Amino acid sequence: MKIAIFGATGMAGSAITDEAVRRGHQALAASRHPREDASPHVESRAVDVADIDSVAAALGDADAAVVAVRPAPGQEGSLPALTRNVLDAARLHDVRVVVVGGSAPLWSPTMPGRRVFDDPAYIPAAWRTIAQASLDQFTACQQHPHEWWTYVSPPAFFEPGPRTGRYERGTDTLLVDERGTSRISAADFAIAIIDELEDPGEDNHFTVATFGSDNETMENRA
């Protein structure tokens, strides 16, 4: 499979690119500043996601696309438009899109009927700007005419870390352990993204998390 990864130099995008190659796929690593890669399975390309023609060209021979774009501080509001550009191009080429989203659109595990965005236990004031952007990004996906998309929300803490090979797949409610902790490493999140591309579930919005060292990978496709 040839996977176009937009935002391939960021934390999530880099991990997803590496995982795709690890699993035998061809990766088109698209970013404003191309990454230097020695692997023959990675094609690094300068792509401006704000330029629909640039995005469409990158998707010309792709089998799937991953949106792993994270705007710079102060530019978070551009995220929905950038995501729409990829969806527009994907619709043109009939390509599936997996969006690396945020946790804000998930339902809160402690406040029934409320989004994580509204739960200060998981979205402190300092995170509200990017949380609003991810909520708007999710709405942009829901409203877009290209229906072949999946929005994957990371847990509350999404950070660099080792590849354990373990994660639990949930639905559209934030996954937490008995202490209320919700986290995953970028490397394990990347496994979930490639798993979804290789073996798609039925949900167009789900989340994943890692709990403890003895958990085995779970894929609950409810």
Q: Give the pLDDT of the chain (222 residues) as one tens digit per residue.
A: 999 999 999 999 999 999 999 999 999 999 988 878 768 899 999 999 999 999 999 999 999 999 999 999 999 999 999 999 999 999 999 999 999 999 999 999 999 999 999 999 999 899 999 999 999 999 999 999 999 999 999 999 999 999 999 999 999 999 999 888 889 999 999 999 999 999 999 999 999 999 875 333 333 322
Domain of residue 200, CATH code: 3.40.50.720
Cβ–Cβ under 8 Å, residues 17 and 38: no
**Spatial CA neighbour of 192 closest among 49, 71, 66, 106:** 66
Q: How confident is the model at residue 34, as a pLDDT?
A: 84
Hey, what are 97's tokens? 């899109």
Quote the pTM value.
Answer: 0.92
Q: How far is CA 138 from CA 26, 135, 150, 219, in A?
A: 27, 5, 10, 22
Where do runs of H (alpha helix) occur along 94-200? 128-143, 186-198
Cβ–Cβ under 8 Å, residues 81 and 144: no
Rg (alpha carbons) of the chain, rounded to whole number: 16
- Looking up tokens 């998390």 gives 209
Count the domains in the chain. Answer: 1
DSSP structural state of residue 8 = T
Q: Which residues contact 3 (CB under 8 A, 6 or more apart)?
A: 20, 25, 26, 27, 28, 62, 63, 64, 65, 66, 197
Q: Which domain holds residue 185?
A: 2-219
Q: How confident is the model at residue 215, as a pLDDT?
A: 39
